[in-house]
Chain A
Amino acid sequence: MIFFESVDKFYGSHRCLTRITAHVAKGEVVVICGPSGSGKTTLIRTVNGLEPIRSGRIVVNGQDVHAPKADINRLRREIGFVFQQFNLFPHMTVLDNVSLAPRKLRGLPREQAEEEARALLARVGLAEKANVYPGQLSGGQSQRVAIARALAMSPPVILFDEPTSALDPEMVGEVLAVMRDLAGSGITMVCVTHEMGFAREVADRVWFMDSGVILEDASPEEFFVAPRHPRARRFLADLRHA
């Protein structure tokens, strides 16, 4: 579903991704973890072209995202993206946030788009919030709306960048519950997170990144029980003590 082929990315002269080669199969759930600044955000942002790359190829759903003649806007409809900071549109109601893309990009009539949006909101447990503005939501609710918005175009792939890091601890659970539910639905999912319980439970594979390199690509059992790389071992130990 997603292929990285020797991807290099620089910020100025700072090399931020080094020869990333990896593969996410259809329906797979991949959790990316690693220390801060290791390039996790950058990596998943290259998947939908929010960040350009220096060289290499990223193929999503059979299409080269960074090809010069790629229709990036069309490709992005197939890739849901959930941000750490939610980034809901504050000037629109929750319902409009979720139904915007279907109306503008799939040309759905408002009524039908809103019906679909209500169904998605019900799925993330927020049916009753359809008509409020994002400013009135808690962090956990905001992130669940953001997930509903990312699902509105029915993308086969969804990417998460630390979806629970900006939340108060008591709200992490409700967002993870939605993601767990989603993981079981057959969608291909790539998720940057430090929620190791979640990774253990739902991930098919765990990627450990450090300094712009994927140091380890393992099943959760392998990764959590016997991480091969010393830096992965230290990372896990630090997480446990935190």
Chain B
Amino acid sequence: MLDILREYWLLFLVGQYPNGPLGGLVATLLVAICGLGLALPCAMAIALGRISPYMPVRIAAAFVVHTVRGTPFLMVIFWSYFGLPILLGRPINGFVTLVGALVLYESAYLAEAIRAGIEALPRGQREAARALGLNYWQTMGLVILPQALFNALPSLLTQFVSLIKETSLGYVISVNEFTFAAAQVNNQLLTKPVQVFSILALTFFAVCFTLTQTARRLERIVARRRNGMAKDGEPTALLATEPTP
């Protein structure tokens, strides 16, 4: 396995780059980060929609969430792959398609995590902000969302980890990402699929595990700073929502 790594590490890491498109692990992380970066604001909007005082907004947001949650991610990729070019009237590249599909899919799940974070806050928080004279958006932006996002951090993180894993499905529409790179290596070696795909699996594990641990630590530090009493703090409000299947 080590000799495979020694030989092909660059292909695993960046794909054909700079002689071809950027690929490999770097592309996977790039897709994941773009996906998360764009999905988070969408998720916040959907979450606010879910608890909006206006019924039509609530219904629309619930429709999006339930539709997406009832659809396998592969289906979303196919729809984006075949549907988006028709909708936009021009071809789009695989990278954009994959990011688009991830944003659509993850927004719905992240939105539910954020909504749970909002609903877990005491009603008094919103009332105190409104009583000061802050309007709805100031209340959400300054008081509610910062707390809700922090409380939802564990589930947001679980979701980000699934997002990283979901990028591997970009393989089916030939996006140059990590899994694609592994398949290329496998095609060149032909005889060592188990070793090649073990490298893939172990790397995914290492990345996701590191991420989870880092965020846990971060969370504890913040919780401790805010709450002098929680010395060796398990953060007080851990919210778990179901991760993506």
Asked if A148 is at the interface (CB within 8 A of a chain B CB), the reply is no
Question: Bound complex: CA of A74 vs CA of B134, how far in Å?
Answer: 9
- B150 CB contacts on chain A under 8 angstroms: 91
- B227 CB contacts on chain A under 8 angstroms: 90, 133, 135-136
Inter-subunit contact A48/B147 (CB<8 Å): no
Question: Bound complex: CA of A136 vs CA of B135, how far in Å?
Answer: 28
Inter-subunit contact B132/A83 (CB<8 Å): no
Interface residue tally for chain B (C-beta within 8 Å): 24
Q: Residues 204-236 of chain B: 1 if any A CB is under 8 Å from the residue's CB, otherwise 0?
A: 000000000000000000000111111000000
Specify which of B124, B132, B226, B229 is in contact with A76 (CB 8 Å cutoff): B132
Question: Bound complex: CA of A135 vs CA of B131, how far in Å?
Answer: 21
Asked if A177 is at the interface (CB within 8 A of a chain B CB), the reply is no
**Residue ID in chain B nearest A134 by CB atoms:** B226
Q: Residues 155-174 of chain B: 1 if any A CB is under 8 Å from the residue's CB, otherwise 0?
A: 00000000000000000000
Q: Residues 82-118 of chain A: 1 if any B CB is under 8 Å from the residue's CB, otherwise 0?
A: 0101011111000000001100110000000000000
Asked if A132 is at the interface (CB within 8 A of a chain B CB), the reply is yes
- B128 CB contacts on chain A under 8 angstroms: 81, 83, 87-89
Query: What bracket does the count of chain A residues touching chain B fall in?
Result: 20 to 34
Inter-subunit contact B147/A73 (CB<8 Å): no
Asked if A205 is at the interface (CB within 8 A of a chain B CB), the reply is no
* Min CB gap B230→A, angstroms: 8
Asked if A50 is at the interface (CB within 8 A of a chain B CB), the reply is yes
Inter-subunit contact B228/A132 (CB<8 Å): yes
Given known pairs A90-B226, A91-B150, A133-B228, the reply for A104 and B131 (CB within 8 Å) is no
Inter-subunit contact B125/A87 (CB<8 Å): yes
Question: Bound complex: CA of A73 vs CA of B143, how far in Å?
Answer: 16
Asked if B83 is at the interface (CB within 8 A of a chain A CB), the reply is no
Specify which of B125, B127, B135, B225 is in contact with A73 (CB 8 Å cutoff): B135
* Min CB gap A77→B, angstroms: 4
Asked if A190 is at the interface (CB within 8 A of a chain B CB), the reply is no
Question: Bound complex: CA of A79 vs CA of B133, how far in Å?
Answer: 9
Given known pairs A133-B225, A135-B226, A136-B229, the reply for A50 and B130 (CB within 8 Å) is yes
Inter-subunit contact B131/A81 (CB<8 Å): yes
Asked if B85 is at the interface (CB within 8 A of a chain A CB), the reply is no
* Min CB gap A126→B, angstroms: 15
Asked if B146 is at the interface (CB within 8 A of a chain A CB), the reply is yes
**Residue ID in chain A nearest B230 by CB atoms:** A135
**Residue ID in chain A nearest B151 by CB atoms:** A91
- B135 CB contacts on chain A under 8 angstroms: 73
User: Residue among B122, B135, B225 with the most chain A CB within 10 A?
Assistant: B135
Chain A stretch 183-229: residues in CB contact (< 8 A) with chain B: none
User: Residue among B125, B131, B229 with the most chain A CB within 10 A?
Assistant: B131
Question: Bound complex: CA of A101 vs CA of B131, how far in Å?
Answer: 10
- A150 CB contacts on chain B under 8 angstroms: 131-132
* Min CB gap A106→B, angstroms: 10
Inter-subunit contact B132/A100 (CB<8 Å): yes
Inter-subunit contact A91/B229 (CB<8 Å): no
Question: Bound complex: CA of A149 vs CA of B133, how far in Å?
Answer: 12
B residues near A (Cβ < 8 Å) are 122, 124-125, 127-135, 138, 142-143, 146-147, 150, 225-230
A residues near B (Cβ < 8 Å) are 48, 50, 73-77, 79, 81, 83, 85, 87-91, 100-101, 104-105, 132-133, 135-136, 149-150, 152-153
Q: List 19 A-B contacts (CB under 8 A).
A: A48-B131, A50-B127, A73-B133, A76-B133, A81-B131, A87-B125, A87-B128, A88-B128, A89-B125, A100-B132, A101-B134, A104-B134, A105-B132, A133-B227, A135-B226, A135-B229, A135-B230, A136-B229, A150-B131
